Structure 1
Amino acid sequence: MALLLGIDNGSTVTKAVLFDEAGRVVALARRRVPTLMPRPRHVERDMGALWSATAEAVAEVIAQSGRPAGEIAAVATTAHGDGLYLLDRRARPLGPGILSLDSRAGDVAAAWEADGTARRALERTGQMPHASAPSVILAWIRDNDPDRFARIGHVIACKDWLRLCLTGGIGTDLTEASTAFTDVRTQVYADDILPIFGLGALADALPQVALPDEVVGHVTPDAARLTGLLPGTPVVAGLHDVTASALGIGGYGRGVVAIVAGTYSINETVSDAPSVDRRWFCRNGLARGEWNNMSISPASTANYDWFLDQLCAADRARAEAEGGSIHDMLEPELREALARPSSVLFQPYLYGSPHGATASAGFFGLHGWHGRGDMLRAVVEGIAFNHRVHVDALRGGFAPTEARLTGGISRNPTVAQVFADALGLPVTVTATEEAAAWGAALCAGSGVGIFTSPRHDPRDMAEISILYRPDPGRSADLARAYALHCDLAAALAPFWPRIEALAEGAGR
């Protein structure tokens, strides 16, 4: 049975996962990639270090599998979308890669909102420019680092850099190309789009576009020496990790909203026609004639991780020392808190929000008689409420009738039930290990004829899925809390900039 290699690079970790043709994980290796923050709002990584870490992970996963590299039929990469990875005209890194958590260009996005540029971009590209959009970052570099801007030879994404390192070829795929510069209706580059952003000089820097499952190159001898892969192993174009995650959990399709509860609150559904609205990105799907509509904000389980770090550090250390899990340890505390009435609400905007860059997090309705369990419940519900903000937007445009949920927090049955109750939708959680890497592997398998298409997942989805149905009473209670959650965000909007200004004035 052949093997498929899916490479998945996130914000801090790069992973290599070997799957067999049935979708079972054969081996998994991870490497951390240091995040560079040379100044506030700049979130970067060294591109050479990213490739080195990825190559090490691939070499380890092959050794760990105990299988010869010749059994690997194909390779595909997926990685965080948006952000920016620049090459000069000799295809060398032009400074560090810029991650999707970077917000240096927030003022550019705000100015475009004010002067009408954002409206024109929405109409032509299907999305509002935001702080980490390639278009916005490029405009910031043009204005703040003109020497670097003048040396740009190629504008690519994170996974495309890994593809270049594997094959020596430059290009991107249909899903990634639509992050900024493709016509939302024709799904290809258009001559009038770069000039909307004042970036007409980069017309020759945009990469050639392939389908995600199209073989675009083969592993070079140099890459083979570093990774242990056989020279000549086919490499397909790969895809944006948001789409890969939906594909990997069986959630890529019409009538379904795929939810990724991770650093970002990601909520997406597929349509067979473009639908433009400022509440979602209308981006290219896996094939021409398909659109993946994504409503997203950086406000999901990073808030839960913060809670664990700040309020549960001692318990986490004890759980790890005993070989246990902090999540299992907190489960009874969360269930007990859910069983009693509570006034505590949490706005999950520690790292971003759907309400602009100045929004911040906070607990409301908190009293002296509340404990850590009540706060944990509020954090979990607040995360689910933020997902509902996006799901409600998609329901208004596409009427999905079910949800599929992935992300580490989804493995907790209590949390999965909270999502079902908060969304008022049946929520399915599949026992999918490394969903984004499996989505990439499906493209790899399709590219070499193992699967009919990336959507022909060989697994029995019913066998590996758990369905959570909303409890009517609990859904009604959470609907009232959700309405208050939204009202609080609206009421706080004028105060968030004033709160942020306190830090700007400190020490003066």
Structure 2
Amino acid sequence: MGGYVLGLDVGTSVTKAALFDRDGREIGSSGRRTSVHSPHPGWYEMDAESLFAAAAGACREALATTGIGAAYVEGLAISGVMIGGWLIDAVDTVLRPGILWNDGRAQGLLDRLVAANPALMSQLFDSSGQVMQLGCTLPVLAWLAENEPHHVAAAHSILTAKDYLRLRLTGHVGTEETDAAIAPGSASGRGFNPALLELFGIECHAGLLPEVRPSEAMAGTLLPAAAEALGLRAGTPVAMGAGDLPACVLGAGAVDAGIACSVVGTTCLNGVVSEAPVFTPRDMGILFTVPGHLWIKTMVNVAGTTNLDWALTALCPDLAGRPDAYEMLAELAASSPPGADGAGYVPYLSHIGIIAPRLEPGARAGFFGLNPDHGRSDLVRSVYEGLAYAIRDCFERIGRPISAIRLVGGASRSPFWAQMIADITGVPVEVPEGSEFGAKGAALLAATAIGWFPDIRTACRATYRTRRRHEPDATTAAAYEQGFQRFRLASDALLDRVAPSYRVEA
């Protein structure tokens, strides 16, 4: 039996473990749910012990279901939800539940900072390349310093979720470049930017920021207690790992400039890989640092497959609950022609609005262009098309040349939808082989750290395989071009109607 590497992927609600062979083929995976607690509206936290238990349980189950013995697992690494804040003390004890990426408690603090310094968000963007989220590590630390000073005073470091889990596995306190760069930090420097702490008034807490290492660097080896919990060998090498989106980019093999990646799950994230940080368009989107000295400029539509879930229950309750519900939904949509006979849909279906093509907390979804002749199939098709138009909108605003789009997430399972995205964007869509791309990216970082590959780009290219490729269909181009222009007009009109003073209260 050959060797294997393992990737752990810490999600907001599920933590997964997946095993991969030397060719990067996914041998098997398992997942365990983790509980997210909301002690106040807009606050989202996770218990440290439940996270460790979920990771351990997923790992043991993955080993059991694949029949792979611990002796054959040669290394592992972790990908996971980014930013947030997990305070630990000098003896590695967690001082409070971990604060997650989607936490909004820092809204009031940020409002005060922006009122005092209107250029704040642009200053942060100029260093990190991102429209900063409230759950980023620096605003979270600033909130903790102001509201829980006793915890901050007792702290030795502030980590992210995956960094905490790696600490439990190896005893190593640290982070890696993908998380540090969007703390917010420095995209060009691929790490923290201490100067930004002054903008939050927390420069006195700079010592809490941990050491930053490359994602493919070795962090340490499995401690005996952790190894027993996970069902692995003590001493198994553990690499630093990466944030979930950068790891997913690696898992999808998108490691050459000009390759785009669309991750269409609960959210819809669209980015283009580059070999230098991209800070245009200014004050728009999120620039992620990717292992292998790469970056990916992204635009995010907050609501992805959530729109299909809504369409299924609101428009097609007769299909909901069927095991083939989404296949039937696609068949229904396919019975309407490209362009949905003029029916349109703007897919901003979220309580918190959108962050691309611009930051609008008050943005909401809606149909447009309806007439009495439109039926259910037209409405359903317009939902699919609306999401595909939003993907094209994101890529056009990024403004970078694209050779192909690697499509992962729920949308990749639908040949109908993947072909539609190719037709609407005019770019070939490639669906990679596999399912756990975040875990695969982490596993490839481990494989690089233990010497299976000379570097992470080589690892990704050597293990990438295309399951399906969808070429744009020229016969639909005219209908979709008209549909896209209608979409842009409706989207702009919707966003212009949002009251400037609208703000979602945390």
Q: Tell me whether the two structures share a fold, i.e. TM-score over 0.5.
A: yes
Task: Name the SS of the counterpart of 1:337 in structure 2.
Answer: coil
Aligned position for 1:122: 125
2:136–2:184 Cα contact (<8 Å) kept: no
Specify every segment of 5 or more residues in structure 2 that has no aligned partner in the other structure, as ranges. Answer: none
Alignment pair present for 1:286 and 2:291: yes
| TM superposition shift of 1:117 | 0.9
Match of 2:85 in 1: 84
CA distance in 1, matches of 2:318, 2:47: 33
Task: Show the counterpart of 2:303.
Answer: 299
Structure-2-length-normalised TM-score? 0.90
Q: Which residue of 2 aligns with 1:258?
A: 261
Per-residue deviation, 1:204: 0.7
Partner in structure 2 of residue 21 of structure 1: 22
Look up the SS of the partner of 2:232 in the other structure. coil
- Check whether the contact 1:181–1:194 (CA below 8 A) recurs between aligned residues: no
Within a 5 Å distance, the mapping from 1:108-257 to structure 2 comes to: 108-109=109-110, 115-257=118-260
Go from structure 1 to structure 2 and tell me whether the alpha carbon gap of 1:461 and 1:150 turns closer, same or farther (over 3 Å shift).
Answer: closer
Q: Which of 255, 267, 270 is matched with 2:270 structurally? A: 267
Counterpart for residue 409 of structure 2: 407
> Hey, what does 1:374 align to over in structure 2?
378
Equivalent residue pairs, number: 495
Task: Name the aligned partner's letter for residue 70 of structure 1.
Answer: A
Give SS of 2:417's match.
Answer: helix
Aligned residues of 1:347 and 1:382 also touching (Cα < 8 A): yes
Please say if 1:451 is aligned against 2:453.
yes
* 1:393 equivalent among 397, 416, 423: 397
* Structure 1 unaligned blocks of 5 or more: 320-324
Of 458, 461, 465 in structure 1, the residue corresponding to residue 467 of structure 2 is 465
1: CA distance between counterparts of 2:332 and 2:501? 32
State the shift of 1:185 in Å. 2.8
1:342 alignment counterpart: 341
Displacement of 1:109: 4.8
Structure 1 window deviating more from structure 2 (137-146 vs 409-418): it is 137-146
Structure 2 match to 1:383: 387
Question: Which stretch of the first structure deviates more once superposed, 26-35 or 267-276?
Answer: 267-276
Report the equivalent of 2:420: 418
Alignment check: 8 A CA contact 1:187 1:284 kept: yes
The answer to whether the 8 Å contact 1:75/1:441 transfers is yes
| CA distance in structure 2 between the partners assigned to 1:404 and 1:368 by the alignment | 38
Deviation at 1:282, TM superposition (A): 3.1
> What RMSD in Å do the two structures reach over aligned CA positions?
2.6
Confirm or deny: 8 A CA contact 2:89 2:157 kept in the other structure. Answer: yes
Distance 1:175 1:103 in 2: 22
Do the aligned residues in 2 keep the contact of 1:211 with 1:287 (CA within 8 Å)?
Answer: no
**Cα displacement string for residues 321-346 of structure 1 (whole angstroms, at most 9, x for unaligned residues):** xxxx3222223212112457433222
**Aligned match of 2:326:** 327
Task: Tell me how far apart the structure 1 counterparts of residues 270 and 409 of structure 2 sit (CA, whole Å).
Answer: 12
CA contact (8 A) 2:222 2:235 kept: yes
SS state of the match for residue 159, structure 1?
helix
Which stretch of structure 1 is more off in the superposition, 72-81 or 398-407?
398-407
Comparing 208-217 with 365-374, greater Cα deviation is found at 365-374
Q: Deviations over 1:345-382 (max 9, x none)?
A: 22222224123222122222345543433232222222
Which stretch of structure 1 is more off in the superposition, 233-242 or 146-155?
Answer: 146-155
Q: SS of the residue aligned with 1:270?
A: strand
Question: 1:110 Cα shift?
Answer: 5.4
Q: Deviations over 1:159-184 (max 9, x none)?
A: 11211121121111111111124333
The aligned counterpart of 1:322 is: none
Which residue does 1:490 correspond to in 2?
492
Matched residue type, 1:330? L
Q: How far off is 1:6 after superposition?
A: 0.6
Distance 1:94 1:309 in 2: 42
Once the two structures are superposed, residues 60-116 of structure 1 have per-residue CA deviations (whole angstroms, 9 ceiling, x without a partner) of 111112121010000111012233333244322232223323333345555655611
> Greater shift after overlay, 32-41 or 3-12?
32-41
1:383 to partner: Cα distance: 1.7
18 and 94 in structure 1: CA distance in 2 versus 1, 3 angstrom threshold:
same
> What code does the residue aligned with 1:434 have?
E
Structure 1, residues 233-276: CA drift from partner, whole Å, max 9, x if none? 00000011111111111122201111111222222233232332
Q: In the TM superposition, what is the alpha-carbon distance from 1:215 to its structure 2 partner?
A: 1.2
User: Which among 430, 437, 440 is matched to residue 439 of structure 2?
Assistant: 437
Amino acid at match of 1:429: V
Residue in 1 aligned with 2:365?
Answer: 361
Tell me how far apart the structure 2 counterparts of residues 69 and 119 of structure 1 sit (CA, whole Å).
49
